[in-house]
Amino acid sequence: MERIVLFIYQYRAFFTFLVLEFFCSWLVIENNQYQGAHFFNSSNSFVANLNGFSQDVREYFSLREVNSVLAEENTILRRKLEQRNQSVQSSLQDSSIIKRFDFVTAKVVNNSVSRFTNFITLNKGKDAGIEPGMAVISPQGVVGKVKMTSKHFSVVTSVLNIDLMISGVMKRTGYFGTIQWDGGNPEYVNFNFIPRHVQPAAGDTIITSGYSGIFPEGILIGTIAEKSISKGAPFYDLKVKLAHDFRKLSYVAIVKSNLRHELDSLEQRVPGMQR
């Protein structure tokens, strides 16, 4: 405290000058209309900019909460859309068919794209009813399949995993094949087993077929970017550009197939139909 008093005393002339300057400025502004209007316009502009900056900071730090809310809303909309599609496709208004798929929102807590076998960790596990084998999607398209679960977390086999194969279909032609990554560019996957008599075109949309009973039918996978076929080869070599950039993956939806066990149980009773 003594040092502060000493500092003020040493620079008393300077502080006196500042006080007089502020007082003179106030007299000028108070007694001159033009200067007063100009000052208040400038001060209002400064305060508005300061408030705008403060609001931008608050919005930035609330983005995580906003993203979480939006992800939950997307999941609810996805559930309603899927129930509507099942209702349209089913001639019998069976509630178990209409509610065949349910969705759980989860946040990505770990992700890789640079290995041959990439995995994704989510913040939902057994407590949320998540089981191995469940499909995982995002608002942009297919993400992967749940491999393992703990009480609070799940590990997902990413589409960018050379061991994962997903049944896909060309939306324009209806021909189906298998999506599989070759371990190269994380933006592209291969679309295999499309016969040479089919005429695929660049830009054709590839969606899930729904044959596995895990992924709902019609989930976007990507679009054909390149096509080629070797002389005498029975199938095309097709490159599909993924709809989702896996390096920006944040929130996903885990798909619960409520009739999956019934479907698996039936097909396992038929020799040669085991998945």
Please check whether residue 93 lies inside any domain of the structure. no
- The closest alpha carbon to 122, from 105, 133, 109, belongs to 109
CATH of the domain at 180: 2.40.10.340
Flag whether pLDDT at 238 surpasses 90: yes
Q: Within this chain, do residues 253 and 128 fall inside the same structural domain, yes or no?
A: yes
pLDDT, mean of residues 171-183: 94
Give the separation between CA 184 and CA 240, rounded to whole angstroms.
13
Residue with tokens 């001060």, as numbered in its chain: 43
Please check whether residue 92 lies inside any domain of the structure. no
Confidence at residue 223, expressed as pLDDT on a 0 to 100 scale: 96
Angle of CA points 125, 154, 131, to nearest 5°: 60
Q: Within this chain, do residues 55 and 108 fall inside the same structural domain, yes or no?
A: no
Please check whether residue 115 lies inside any domain of the structure. yes
Give the separation between CA 132 and CA 136, rounded to whole angstroms.
11
Q: Within this chain, do residues 164 and 229 fall inside the same structural domain, yes or no?
A: yes
Please check whether residue 40 lies inside any domain of the structure. yes
Q: Within this chain, do residues 112 and 50 fall inside the same structural domain, yes or no?
A: no
Confidence at residue 92, expressed as pLDDT on a 0 to 100 scale: 47
Please check whether residue 81 lies inside any domain of the structure. no
Please check whether residue 203 lies inside any domain of the structure. yes
Please check whether residue 68 lies inside any domain of the structure. no
Q: Cβ distance 208 to 243 under 8 Å?
A: no
Q: Cβ distance 190 to 177 under 8 Å?
A: no
Give the separation between CA 139 and CA 71, rounded to whole angstroms.
9
pLDDT, mean of residues 169-180: 93
Q: Within this chain, do residues 108 and 157 fall inside the same structural domain, yes or no?
A: yes
Q: Within this chain, do residues 21 and 114 fall inside the same structural domain, yes or no?
A: no
Give the separation between CA 44 and CA 133, rounded to whole angstroms.
60
For the full predicted model, state whether its pTM sits above 0.75: no
Give the separation between CA 96 and CA 50, rounded to whole angstroms.
56
Contact partners, residue 176, CB within 8 Å, separation at least 6: 167, 168, 169, 170, 209, 211
Q: Within this chain, do residues 52 and 128 fall inside the same structural domain, yes or no?
A: no
Angle of CA points 54, 60, 63, to nearest 5°: 140
Q: Cβ distance 67 to 250 under 8 Å?
A: yes
Count of C-beta atoms within a 10 Å radius of residue 160 = 29
- The closest alpha carbon to 135, from 161, 102, 162, belongs to 102
Confidence at residue 251, expressed as pLDDT on a 0 to 100 scale: 87
Please check whether residue 18 lies inside any domain of the structure. yes
pLDDT in tens, 146-159: 999 999 999 999 99
Is residue 54 helix, strand or coil? Answer: helix
Confidence at residue 266, expressed as pLDDT on a 0 to 100 scale: 55
Q: Within this chain, do residues 45 and 142 fall inside the same structural domain, yes or no?
A: no
pLDDT, mean of residues 248-271: 74
Torsion angle, CA of 125/130/134/140, rounded to 10 degrees? -70
Confidence at residue 131, expressed as pLDDT on a 0 to 100 scale: 92
Give the separation between CA 165 and CA 178, rounded to whole angstroms.
6
Q: Within this chain, do residues 183 and 109 fall inside the same structural domain, yes or no?
A: yes
Q: Within this chain, do residues 143 and 245 fall inside the same structural domain, yes or no?
A: yes
pLDDT in tens, 26-55: 666 566 665 555 545 555 455 445 555 555
Q: Cβ distance 112 to 118 under 8 Å?
A: yes
Give residue 26's domain range: 2-61
**How would residue 214 be classed by pLDDT, with cut points 50, 70 and 90?**
confident
Q: Cβ distance 241 to 202 under 8 Å?
A: no
pLDDT, mean of residues 75-95: 56
Domain total in the chain: 2
Give the separation between CA 148 and CA 94, rounded to whole angstroms.
32
**How would residue 211 be classed by pLDDT, with cut points 50, 70 and 90?**
confident
pLDDT, mean of residues 120-124: 92
Q: Within this chain, do residues 142 and 228 fall inside the same structural domain, yes or no?
A: yes
pLDDT, mean of residues 95-109: 73
Q: Within this chain, do residues 236 and 111 fall inside the same structural domain, yes or no?
A: yes
Q: How far is CA 144 from CA 82, 141, 163, in A?
A: 19, 10, 11
